[in-house]
Chain A
């Protein structure tokens, strides 16, 4: 099987950091604030592999570092330590040693990101169609008609009324904005897609439709995805393998059914037991 992403010892510290930051933070100390220097250890020693066509779940509560992991990989943040290698069309990219232009290239051409809040993923000053066109233009699609046809096709695929493609996203409902965001992320057919709490805060019926869409896309295109969520239901539905994080550390990882039915760590056992 083809590896898409290899992450080793990824870490992110907010603050100046000190030599004892990692010794007295984490699940054992129930904090990610270093008692000596006050720095926040958002993530430490996070390692995992992602293969083509699989969805990896990263589960944890607020402040566990799950979003930090993904933001570092999408270059929204700079990691403090660690290494990530992206494998793409026979080439390897050492993500954290790339220059700004190379990073931008990967973001625009090979990665997709769907944020919890559509404000982050969409440009609210241009129309829904325009948002998609932006991404297509970056990929050297220049012909107006071609761009428009492709935008229509994508919006149709994500079930956004194409009659409304020339409206600004602010006129749309939350679920519809999320669909536009997914259409935008998919516009360039990325081999790697990050999903950061994509269904959090949506109505149950809208959540269901978004999750169905994600699964269909994954089946159709074999896109490798990392789904960050605190929702066990999303994990159960989407992810083949799951990582559980707490206070910035990975406390457990395994096959999703194993994590849910035979959790090893005390925290995961409590989490699974408290699912509705």
Chain B
């Protein structure tokens, strides 16, 4: 029996039209890959190869310029995320597709516990139960307990990143997008994160990830996709919008 992919990206391209400067900036071109349940696909390549662009395209923070992004959802239907309507995307983000970036986007004035438990709140898990699970994962990620009750706004980069990861991992999505989640973590915490990501994989989560460190790629990835900067990217300064 062959494994069916959760995500299949075909001929994905993205370029940005900057009206003010009259420029067309290519960011990704003709990207193809698949992501399978319980496996991790790593995107590698130099800065400017469009790795983050691919993740944002899948999450639809960016509108892809061309290609198809076929996602097989929980109910077995396949949707092209490029064409899916906004409510469909919002529904998938709420229930099935998670995104952990390098930066923490949290509502201000909210305790760390609640920030982490938020995805469970929105799915209707009881507040106390959700907070209990949040505390458990914060513990595993070595975030000092004295920080759990306060807002992460004033945390250090590494602390924020742990909060961000805790939230993303606790949500246990079907498809998880990770953009350099270990970039500012110490080696001990990085090992913990690797362990947690491995746990998620054994639970069947399909993961598409970008890692800063090659050794993390080696430890976690099942498939590796190398991206190259799109042709024309180095000369975009001369490029004019047709």
Binding site for B on A (CB under 8 A): 1, 51, 54, 208, 212, 215, 219, 237, 240-241, 254-255, 257-258, 261-262, 264-266, 269-270, 273
Contact = CB atoms under 8 A, between A and B. Distances in A.
B61 interface: yes
Contact of A269 (B18, B89, B107, B121): B18
Nearest to A262: B62
B107 A237 contact: yes
Given A254-B86, A269-B18, A262 B107 contact: no
B61 A51 contact: no
Contacts of B63: 254, 258, 262, 264
Nearest to B17: A264
Given A208-B108, A208-B109, A255 B18 contact: no
Contacts of B108: 208
A261 B62 contact: yes
A254 B89 CA distance: 11
Interface in B71-92: 86-87, 89-91
A258 B60 contact: yes
B19 interface: yes
A219 B127 CA distance: 12
Nearest to A270: B20
B56 interface: yes
B155 interface: no
A257 B87 CA distance: 14
Interface size class of B (residues with CB under 8 A): 20 to 34
Contacts of A266: 19-20
B117 to A, nearest CB: 12
Given A1-B87, A208-B109, A240-B90, 15 more contacts: A51-B87, A212-B109, A237-B107, A254-B86, A255-B60, A255-B86, A255-B89, A257-B61, A258-B61, A261-B56, A262-B56, A262-B62, A266-B20, A269-B19, A270-B20
A156 B86 CA distance: 36
A16 B62 CA distance: 42
Contacts of B89: 255
B62 A273 contact: no
Contact of B62 (A219, A240, A258): A258
Interface string B95-131: 0000000000001110000000000011000000000
A255 B89 CA distance: 9
B20 A241 contact: no
B237 interface: no
Contacts of A262: 16, 56, 61-63
